[in-house]
Amino acid sequence: MHDLNGRTAVITGAASGIGLALAHRLGAAGMNLVLGDLERSTLDAAVAELTDAGFPVAATELDVSDLDQVIAFESFSRESFGNVHLLCNNAGVGAGGPVHDLNNLDLWKWTIDIDLWGVIYGCKVFLSNMIDHGEAAHVVNTASMAGHLSIPMMGPYSIAKYGVVALSETMSKEMQMLKTNVGVSVLCPAFVDTNIATSDRNLPTEIRAAHNMPSPGSMPSRTQSKIEQLVAAGIPTSDVADAVHDAVIEDRFWILTHPETRQEVTDRAQQIVEGINPTLGGLF
């Protein structure tokens, strides 16, 4: 997609973090913006901010783990601005817990439903019309470096992000095989300064109550504290948005926002081909 001006971008998880930065960057490129987010008040604030900046915006509350809501969101997008040209499946949460603890299966399901099934639903629901309209189009799926490098105590997050990487690679090959008008990118940042470390603010009440989990803002665990520190020291969301914009323009699949992580990916691949067991590494 060499020219974004006048085209339409759809962004999930758009009210804050990377999603909001994407909205600003793509709006500045001349795109119409369709925003979806679970947090209504934050979404309303984002719409006001983007409207004040002069960008055309339509927005609606959205839970990407609900297929019916994603279907309605796709209809809302086309009713608002016509054909969708850029789909950013960006909504996500961060959660974890040890693999051996059966008591946190609800938390695992919640994370995977949003981080993986939310992306699957977005691709399934939007892609056919994006192909059929025949105009230049692109899909950006937000994964993570956790989709290449597994993080201990963050099993559900890593599993979901590995899945997003695999889904995106599969889609890219299918779009080439079918000679469609749709390009594909997968976004794999390391730590970015967002609110993902406090994703539990959106945890369903019934899960929190069933497992006697602390309320949001309670004293975090050692692992949670470490993640929060790393996220707070992460790169600005505007840097990620710039990288996504450039990748769409250049039709580039891999969006790796942290150059230092490239060696870690290389090291992991080398361990695989040499049969070396996984090691803990220096994160914890």
Catalytic residues: 157
Helices (H), 178-236: 205-210, 222-232
The answer to whether the CB of 60 falls within 8 A of the CB of 36 is yes
The answer to whether the CB of 22 falls within 8 A of the CB of 90 is yes
Per the listing, tokens 């580039």 go with 252
CA–CA–CA angle 191, 49, 183 (5° rounding) = 55
Distance CA 195, CA 237 (A): 11
Q: Is the dihedral of CA 43, 47, 48, 50 positive or negative?
A: positive
SS3 content of the chain, % helix, strand, coil (to 5): 50, 15, 35
Distance CA 259, CA 11 (A): 25
